[in-house]
Amino acid sequence: MGESDARGCAAAFAQAMQFRETIRAMLGAMTSKRALRAQWVAEVNQALAWGSGAARLVRQDSGWRLGFSPGSAGPLRALAPIARAIADLAASGRSAEIGKCANPRCLLYFRDRSRTRRRRWCSMAVCGNRMKVAAHVRRHGRNRPT
pLDDT at 40 over 90: yes
Per-residue buried b or exposed e for 98-124, using 16+ beta carbons within 10 Å of the residue's own CB: bbbbebeebeebbeeeeeeeebbbbee
**What pLDDT was estimated at residue 33?**
86
- Locate the domains of the chain by residue range: 1-96, 99-146
53-94 pLDDT per residue, tens:
767 777 778 777 777 777 766 788 888 889 988 888 888 775
